[in-house]
């Protein structure tokens, strides 16, 4: 079926969903359409409903641990799945509990969905820190479980700024294609996007954001924050700038580089996040203020007519958790081209830097990448 019906778990506000329905390739018979999506956060679900879904009922707002998959199947059969399973326990910012945390094991519901729905292909997304979680064992275990369901898997660490995205956002994305389909995925090359102006300034100022744009409320900064920011140059943060002692932060231990960090207008933004307290909201290179949510959404490549639902804090969280829609679109279109047998510039998958030789053999993944012969020859 060339028009793939897409089901989403942990759908977030719709970065992947928007990318899917906007994906187009040379063969118009191949495309992606929304089938259903699920997430547990009400504001997030409302955002997805208003921007992506064809019908309100196709967005199921519930805890994944309590959803009966038959309910989703009654909405629509699916040919493809995508999921950005929770990254909290895999992120390098945080306690890094991995599989031992509350969120780490939730990936298993994605594996369960693959087993239940048998999609032709799937896309799974998580933070780059996943590869090191539990000494690398978590990543190998996750890959193995997808592989064991009868799928060839193609993990790659995508550096979205290399694909013309105005943000240094590094994410592991796993493409899985069912073995019986005899389709091979190749990682799209970033080279053709090298001429794109992906600077923060271009993203935020070109074209100018209308004052009445959705989610464009300014933060009321305190005088102390304004004074502190006045000493911070573009690209600097609260700990690298020369700031008078009475305005310095009294922080012991690790000093997070994003605290009161100004954007460098001539470079892509640093990673936009959805969590964290004061000082983590991404700061304008010139004006003494945090970015508005609409400016943050631009760095995540959401169009200005994409309206986020909820309070300002809720919207900030949604934007930070999302996948840059324009970056995801590049990957979705590579999947469509793979199925349509259309050639495209590609690069090798970065599996060797993501998973060790020991884990490849431990979890019987070497065959997936055609490495058994290589290992024998180099032994």
35-78 per-position pLDDT tens digit: 999 999 999 999 999 999 989 999 999 998 899 999 999 999 99
Question: Is 199:266 a contact under the CB 8 Å cutoff?
Answer: yes
User: What confidence score (pLDDT) does residue 20 get?
Assistant: 98
Give yes or no: 87 in active site: yes
The closest alpha carbon to 158, from 200, 135, 125, 132, belongs to: 125
User: What confidence score (pLDDT) does residue 38 get?
Assistant: 96
93: pLDDT strictly greater than 60:
no
- Give the pLDDT band (50/70/90) at residue 360: confident
CB atoms within 10 A of CB 155: 26
User: How many CA atoms, within 13 angstroms, populate the side-chain half-sphere of residue 265?
Assistant: 10
- Cα dist from 75 to 121, 143, 250, whole Å: 19, 28, 53
Q: How many whole angstroms separate alpha carbon 61 and alpha carbon 45?
A: 6
User: What confidence score (pLDDT) does residue 369 get?
Assistant: 66
Looking at residue 314, the DSSP 8-state letter turns out to be H
User: What confidence score (pLDDT) does residue 132 get?
Assistant: 63
User: What is the arithmetic mean of pLDDT over 159-188?
Assistant: 95
Q: How many whole angstroms separate alpha carbon 131 and alpha carbon 287?
A: 37
Question: Is 145:93 a contact under the CB 8 Å cutoff?
Answer: no
Q: How many whole angstroms separate alpha carbon 322 and alpha carbon 68?
A: 25
Question: Is 25:328 a contact under the CB 8 Å cutoff?
Answer: no
User: What confidence score (pLDDT) does residue 151 get?
Assistant: 93
CB atoms within 10 A of CB 51: 19
Q: Is the peptide bond before 71 cis (omega within 30 degrees of 0)?
A: no
Question: Which listed residue (11, 45, 87, 110) is catalytic?
Answer: 87
- Long-range CB contact pairs, 353-356, < 8 A, 24+: 353/157, 354/131, 354/139, 354/155, 354/156, 354/157, 354/172, 355/131, 355/136, 355/139, 355/140, 355/143, 355/155, 356/136, 356/140
286: pLDDT strictly greater than 80:
yes
User: How many CA atoms, within 13 angstroms, populate the side-chain half-sphere of residue 5?
Assistant: 15
User: What is the arithmetic mean of pLDDT over 96-119?
Assistant: 72
| pLDDT tens track for 289-313 | 999 999 999 999 999 999 999 999 9
Lowest mean pLDDT among 62-66, 331-335, 369-373: 369-373
Domain covering 3-196+324-378: architecture: 3-Layer(aba) Sandwich (3.40)
Instruction: Write down the mean pLDDT value for the chain.
Output: 88
Spans of all domains in the chain: 3-196+324-378
User: What is the arithmetic mean of pLDDT over 319-341?
Assistant: 97
């Amino acid at each position: 079926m060339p028009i793939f019906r897409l089901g989403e778990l942990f759908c977030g506000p719709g970065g992947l969903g928007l990318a899917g329905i906007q994906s187009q390739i040379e063969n118009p018979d191949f495309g992606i359409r929304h089938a259903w999506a699920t997430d547990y956060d009400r504001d997030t679900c409302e955002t997805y409903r208003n921007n992506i879904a064809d019908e309100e009922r196709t967005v199921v707002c519930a805890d994944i641990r309590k959803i009966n998959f038959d309910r989703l199947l009654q909405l629509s059969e699916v040919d493809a799945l995508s999921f950005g399973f929770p990254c909290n326990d895999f992120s390098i910012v945080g306690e890094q509990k991995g599989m031992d945390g509350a969120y780490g094991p939730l990936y298993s519901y994605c594996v369960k969905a693959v087993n239940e729905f048998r999609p032709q292909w799937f896309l799974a997304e998580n933070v780059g820190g996943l590869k090191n979680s539990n000494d690398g064992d978590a990543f190998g275990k996750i890959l193995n479980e997808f592989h064991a369901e009868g799928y060839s898997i193609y993990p790659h660490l995508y550096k979205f700024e290399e694909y013309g995205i105005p943000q240094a956002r590094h994410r592991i994305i796993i493409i899985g294609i069912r073995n019986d389909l005899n389709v091979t995925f190749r990682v799209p090359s970033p080279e053709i996007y090298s001429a794109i102006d992906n600077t923060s300034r271009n993203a935020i100022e070109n074209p100018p954001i209308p004052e009445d744009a959705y989610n464009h409320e300014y933060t009321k900064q305190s005088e102390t924050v304004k004074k502190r920011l006045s000493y911070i140059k573009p690209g600097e943060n609260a700990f690298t700038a020369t700031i008078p002692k009475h305005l310095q932060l009294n922080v012991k231990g690790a000093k997070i580089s994003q605290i009161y960090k100004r954007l460098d207008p001539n470079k892509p933004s640093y990673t936009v996040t959805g969590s964290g307290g004061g000082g983590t909201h991404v700061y304008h290179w010139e004006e003494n203020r945090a970015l508005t949510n609409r400016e943050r959404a631009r760095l995540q490549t959401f169009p200005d007519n994409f309206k986020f639902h909820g309070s300002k804090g809720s919207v900030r969280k949604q934007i930070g958790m999302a996948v840059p829609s324009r970056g995801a679109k590049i990957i979705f279109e590579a999947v469509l081209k793979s199925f349509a047998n259309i050639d495209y510039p590609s690069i090798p998958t970065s599996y060797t830097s993501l998973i060790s030789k020991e884990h490849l053999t431990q979890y019987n993944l070497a065959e997936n990448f055609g490495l058994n012969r290589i290992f024998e020859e180099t032994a």
